[in-house]
């Protein structure tokens, strides 16, 4: 969201508590827009940060006004009732409240010095092992059979791993101290021996299997040296265990249930990769996936939540069992939110402000898309005009194109030195060296992309940017590696053509169009919603407080 980077984000975070509902011009108000009214206590502390800077005070005030106008307009347009806006508002509020609920209960967990000493007394064994997990129990059974017949688990972790980390590392985990393993693996590692295969066991997202590659003993640090780290880890582990107990009890108390028929329908609509979903009919979107005492989630809610996950989050949308586990997790999140509300956590001022912040951020983001963005036009004539205006101020710096080869060890560096000293052509001996793809032009074997001076490490800039065409130099990377360069051509600094800076010019045109669209919209809405601003209040921030006045006020407070 481009515009609200400086308006909605800055202002919403600072004024998340404002916007109370009063009549226009209520006594003591400093800004009123329709039935949204702001009082000094809502914004005074934030404006104090800019005291004495009249320009910043004016800009900040205008941003607050624009924000209130846009929120009022968005609400009148019904944007706040859009189901995607409602869903996102719920999810962001739920994240805040479930976190606060967990903090409330988990904050009671403590770890004593005796527990830390007991943990330390069991230290002294390191372990390296391979882990693999999957949601399909039948697949895990097949993997187990193949591993017991001699295959190594790393093969399956690499080929069938459900997330990037497992695939990238082939499931390999090395711990200098086995007791620091995650709680899923800990009980098995404490009794395992080198070469053991740990049969598949259940975890939150399916089944997990381990293969012990090696184990060794070592002398653990003294308790005094390691006690703080041990205590921190144990506290984290105890809180996680307490969390599981809490959530298990809530799951039973709230009678959480999923509808497998609906989950099978969702799995059928998954894409071929099992990452996203196809289209659901309107009547299907509202079908209930998971229920509990006091609430439920439908297909729209669950599928939108899943598709909004980070790209690298493991998911198997074509597996009804995986969807069931995930839906139950969402139900538990909502239940924790309900529990937080019953505790009154949502009424704590700081938390209430954060909830308001989330609500207005989401509303304003959607308002930008629906109302402001459609008014922004990157006109070709404007692009040409802005290009002519700014091109002389942003010259394209000199770039150089080199031939380059990678010298991977001291012997290669020495060989390159000898070839250069003898006058032989390095490129005629290319088979002795390696290529360096990170800086090569597409489709080229030794030719680099045009390299600006700023891209060269400072210690080597003078060397490479004083070479004449066909001159050579070796640039050290590490103690035993280097790059060989031969200057091929020089692109002199020049006034850019439009295509060289089109993205920058287009962004400038869009920014200007956006600013004008916002100004026009603010002017229009100010009249429509009977904007009231107490200018005298804001002018009071133009001058800094006098030191003697401040001290007089302070001493007066002390006397009373």
Report the mean per-residue pLDDT for the chain: 89
Q: What is the mean pLDDT of residues 489-501?
A: 94
Nearest to 67 by CA among 87, 46, 88: 46
d(CA 545, CA 233): 49
Q: Residue 355 to residues 12, 75, 96, 146, 363: CA-CA distances in angstroms?
A: 11, 17, 7, 52, 13
pLDDT tens, residue by residue, 221-275: 999 888 888 998 888 888 888 888 898 899 999 999 999 999 999 999 999 888 8
pLDDT tens, residue by residue, 315-329: 889 999 999 999 999
d(CA 496, CA 390): 10
Distance of CA 404 to the CA centre of its chain: 37
- The β-bridge partners of 217 are 125
Q: Report the first-to-last Cα separation within the chain, whole angstroms.
A: 49
Say what the pLDDT of residue 553 is: 41
Q: What is the mean pLDDT of residues 452-465?
A: 92
Query: Does pTM top 0.85 for this prediction?
Result: no
d(CA 216, CA 176): 9
Q: Which two tokens stand for residue 261?
A: 């028929």
Which residue shows structure tokens 């009794």? 191
77 torsion bin: left (phi>0), alpha (psi -120 to 50), beta (else): alpha
Pair 162, 110: CB distance under 8 Å:
no
Strand bridging mode 288-292 / 295-298: antiparallel
Whether 84 shows a pLDDT value over 60: the answer reads yes
Pair 113, 170: CB distance under 8 Å:
no
Question: Could you tell me what percent of the chain has a pLDDT over 70?
Answer: 92
- C-alpha triplet 21, 27, 33: angle, nearest 5°: 45
Q: What is the mean pLDDT of residues 203-214?
A: 89
Q: Which two tokens stand for residue 60?
A: 């900040």
Distance of CA 529 to the CA centre of its chain: 37
Question: Could you tell me what percent of the chain has a pLDDT over 90?
Answer: 73
Which residue shows structure tokens 């189901």? 83
| 102 C-beta neighbours (distance < 10 Å), count | 18
Nearest to 496 by CA among 338, 389, 379: 389
Nearest to 305 by CA among 272, 266, 343, 363: 266
pLDDT tens, residue by residue, 89-127: 999 999 999 999 999 998 888 888 888 888 999 899 999
Q: Which two tokens stand for residue 419?
A: 């070839």
Q: Where are the alpha helices (DSSP H) in 122-171?
A: 137-148, 153-160, 164-169
Whether 548 shows a pLDDT value over 80: the answer reads no
Burial 347-362 (b: 16+ CB within 10 A, else e): eeeebebbbbbbbbbb
Q: Residue 71: in which H helix or E strand, if any?
A: helix 54-76
Say what the pLDDT of residue 35 is: 85
d(CA 205, CA 161): 13
- The β-bridge partners of 466 are none
For every residue of 471-538, DSSP letters joined together read -EEEEESSSS-EEEEEEEEEE--BPPPGGGSHHHHHHHHHHHHHHHHHHHHHHHHHHHTT-EE-HHHH
Number of H helices, E strands in the chain: 21, 15
Whether 23 shows a pLDDT value over 80: the answer reads no
d(CA 229, CA 181): 14
């Amino acid at each position: 969201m481009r515009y609200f980077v400086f308006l909605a984000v800055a202002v919403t975070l600072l004024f998340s508590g404002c916007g109370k509902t009063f009549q226009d011009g209520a006594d003591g108000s400093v800004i009123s827009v329709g039935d949204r009214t702001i009082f000094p206590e809502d914004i005074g502390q934030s404006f104090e940060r800019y005291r004495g800077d009249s320009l910043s005070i004016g800009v900040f005030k205008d941003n607050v006004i624009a924000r209130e106008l846009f929120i009022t307009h968005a609400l009148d347009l019904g944007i706040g009732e859009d189901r995607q806006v409602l869903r996102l508002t719920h999810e962001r509020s739920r994240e805040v409240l479930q976190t606060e609920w967990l903090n409330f209960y988990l904050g009671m967990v403590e770890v004593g010095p005796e527990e830390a000493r007991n943990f330390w007394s069991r230290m002294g064994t390191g372990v390296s092992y391979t882990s693999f997990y999957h949601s399909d129990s039948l697949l895990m059974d097949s993997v187990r059979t193949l591993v017991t017949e001699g295959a190594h688990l790393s093969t399956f972790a690499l080929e069938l791993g459900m997330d990037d980390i497992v695939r990238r590392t082939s499931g390999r985990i090395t711990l200098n101290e086995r007791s620091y393993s995650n709680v899923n693996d800990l009980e098995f590692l404490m009794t395992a021996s080198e070469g053991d295969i740990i049969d598949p066991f259940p975890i939150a997202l399916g089944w997990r299997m381990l293969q012990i590659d090696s184990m060794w003993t070592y002398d653990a640090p003294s308790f005094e040296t390691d006690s703080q780290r041990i205590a921190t880890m144990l506290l984290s582990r105890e809180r996680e265990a307490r969390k599981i107990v809490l959530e298990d009890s809530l799951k039973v108390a709230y009678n959480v249930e999923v509808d497998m028929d609906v989950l099978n329908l969702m799995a059928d609509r998954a894409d071929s990769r099992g990452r996203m979903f196809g289209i659901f009919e309107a009547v299907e979107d509202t079908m209930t996936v998971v229920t509990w005492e006091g609430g439920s989630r439908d297909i729209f809610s669950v599928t939108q939540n899943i598709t909004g996950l980070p790209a690298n989050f493991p998911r198997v949308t074509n597996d009804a069992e995986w969807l069931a586990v995930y839906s139950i997790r969402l139900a538990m999140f909502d239940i924790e939110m309900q529990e937080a509300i019953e505790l009154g956590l949502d009424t704590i001022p700081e938390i209430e402000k954060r909830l308001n912040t989330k609500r207005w951020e989401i509303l304003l983001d959607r308002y930008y898309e629906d109302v402001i963005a459609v008014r922004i036009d990157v006109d070709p004539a404007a692009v040409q005009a802005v290009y002519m205006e700014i091109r002389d101020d942003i010259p394209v710096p000199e770039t150089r194109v080199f031939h380059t080869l990678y010298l991977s060890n001291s012997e290669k560096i020495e060989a390159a030195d000898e070839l250069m000293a003898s006058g032989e052509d390095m490129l005629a001996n290319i088979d002795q060296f390696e290529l360096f793809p990170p800086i090569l032009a597409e489709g080229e074997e030794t030719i680099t992309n045009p390299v600006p001076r700023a891209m060269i490490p400072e210690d080597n800039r003078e060397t490479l940017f004083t070479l004449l065409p066909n001159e050579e130099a070796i640039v050290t990377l590490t103690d035993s590696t280097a790059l060989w360069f031969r200057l091929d051509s020089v692109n002199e600094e020049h006034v850019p053509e439009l295509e060289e800076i089109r993205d920058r010019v287009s962004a400038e045109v869009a920014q200007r169009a956006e600013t004008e669209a916002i100004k026009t919209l603010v002017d229009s809405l100010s009249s429509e919603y009977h904007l009231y601003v107490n200018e005298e209040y804001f002018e009071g921030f133009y001058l800094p407080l006098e030191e003697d006045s401040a001290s007089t006020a302070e001493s007066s407070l002390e006397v009373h």
